[in-house]
Structure 1
Amino acid sequence: MHRLLLLIMLGALGLGGCRQGGASDHPNPKPDSKAIETSAFLYDVQLVNSKGKKIGFIEIKESDEEGLDFHISATQLPPGASLGFHIHEKGTCVKPDFESAGGPFNPLNKEHGFNNPMGHHAGDLPNLEVGANGKVDVIMNAPETSLKEGSKLNILDKDGSAFVIHEQADDYLTNPSGNSGDRIVCGALSGNTKKQ
């Protein structure tokens, strides 16, 4: 009897761990928070706030399925907030407004937002859901990005790119950044950010 109960419980756990759908189900508004082997990540981007203070990092690697995987870990964010999060076209983060990062990473010339029938930008990412402690630690996938030289989806081209966190939630619809407000955190990706 105990063995049967144990088998039923293990079976239920196995089914619960199966993910429905594939990469085409993107976006996942609730990114994975599972632990991941950090040695697999090739790049380490430092995140800074508008005062230039380091508040976290983003690690980047080629996905086993499609595009790139990002591990985002940051602190000192607005507690409990939902914050817009995007890849921008230039790898520069000049404080305090980070306008130096340019516009959205949009090599496929689409409009902004996962809910936009003419969208979405390749650099559109799900909102970051910040904990009550002001921290976020998640993994997400961007299927329309690459690190391959010569690919138009390459976020590591000659001028790099930047990861930008905005002050408000992205509405996943409105051009150019989903009414997500000012840029409050930035991380510049370039060839110099490769892990040693």
Structure 2
Amino acid sequence: MRKFSIPLAVCATAVLFACSQQASDAQDQETAEAPAQDEAALPEPGGSESLPSMMRATGDLLGGDGNTIGSVNLIEGPNGILMEVSIDAGGLTPGWHAIHMHQTGDCSDTGSYTASGGHVGKVDGGHGLLNPAGPEPGDLPNLYAFEDGSVHFETFTDLVSLSDVMDEDGGAIIIHEGRDDHLSQPIGGAGGRVACAVVN
């Protein structure tokens, strides 16, 4: 029986080679028949296709004389609002200033800006980010004006949504002459209103 072992091994090798060759040919045929993928149809990484649709609101900031001194941009995310404030040089006095969201979209009474009403979600005794009884939805951190009076400010709040700010009578962003101590009533000792923006 030993004299047949070599021919049998050769036959087995030939069979295996033939099977392997057939599988390789079939794979090559499938590759050739598969349609080429259109690269233009693929979304770009980080492109707009991957970004969720977000509500936005903008407004021009008016100074005490009614002239435009800057802008406000509100972007609503899944958990709150991102606020961006940009003010030109000379727009504010240098230093800290309170900024709040107000109930009414009206900046027509130049200088006083009381037509914008009270804070969004005003609660008696509830003003202030440090207030145990607060804060009110319209409360925000102070912004800082540089020595030239310009401002580049960004903050986030989860106390309010754009639908709360932009209800039937609209909404406004008010900047005060002084800083908010986040505790005193009714506006944290921030003083008069020196800038106003209707957001829409």
SS at match of 1:71: strand
1:113 equivalent to 2:128? Answer yes
Assess if the C-alpha contact under 8 Å between 2:144 and 2:153 holds in 1: no
**Aligned partner of 2:86 among 51, 58, 73:** 73
Long gaps (5+) in structure 1: 1-39, 149-153
Work out which of the residue numbers 94, 104, 107 in structure 2 matches 1:90.
104
Bigger CA radius of gyration: 2
Go from structure 1 to structure 2 and tell me whether the alpha carbon gap of 1:162 and 1:107 turns closer, same or farther (over 3 Å shift): same
- Is the 2:55–2:75 Cα contact (8 Å) retained in structure 1? yes
Counterpart of 1:68, as a letter, is: I
2:183 paired residue number: 173
- Cα shift at 1:42: 2.2
1:28 aligns with none
- Equivalences for 1:1-196 in 2 at 5 Å? 42-64=56-78, 66-75=79-88, 76-93=90-107, 94-106=109-121, 111-148=126-163, 154-189=164-199, 193=200
1:141 match: secondary structure: strand
Q: CA deviation at 1:144?
A: 1.4
Q: Secondary structure at the match of 1:125?
A: coil
Cα deviation digits, residues 106-157 of structure 1 (max 9, x gap): 1677610011110111101110111112111121112111124xxxxx1110
Scaled by the length of structure 1, the TM-score of the pair is: 0.69
Amino acid paired to 1:55 = I
Deviation at 1:47, TM superposition (A): 0.3
Root-mean-square deviation over aligned CA pairs? 2.0
C-alpha separation between the residues in 2 aligned to 1:68 and 1:82? Answer: 22
Distance 1:146 1:179, change over 3 A: same
1:181 to 1:46, Cα distance in 2 relative to 1, 3 A: same
Supply the distance in 2 between the matched residues of 1:83 and 1:170 (Cα, whole angstroms): 7
More helix by share: 2
SS at match of 1:70: strand
C-alpha distance in 2 between matches for 1:109 and 1:158: 23
Bigger shift: 102-111 or 125-134? 102-111
Alignment partners' CA distance in 2, 1:45 and 1:166: 17
- Contact kept, 8 Å, 2:70 with 2:91, in 1: the verdict is no
Taking the aligned partners of 1:174 and 1:160, their CA distance within structure 2 comes to 27
1:53-94 residue CA offsets vs partner (Å, 9 max, x unmatched): 000001111125x21111110122344310011011111012
Q: Distance in 1 between matches of 2:130 and 2:152?
A: 25
Aligned equivalent of 1:15 = none
Contact 1:109 1:121 in 2 (8 A): no
Runs of 4+ in 1 over 4 A off after TM superposition: 107-110
Contact 2:63 2:91 in 1 (8 A): no
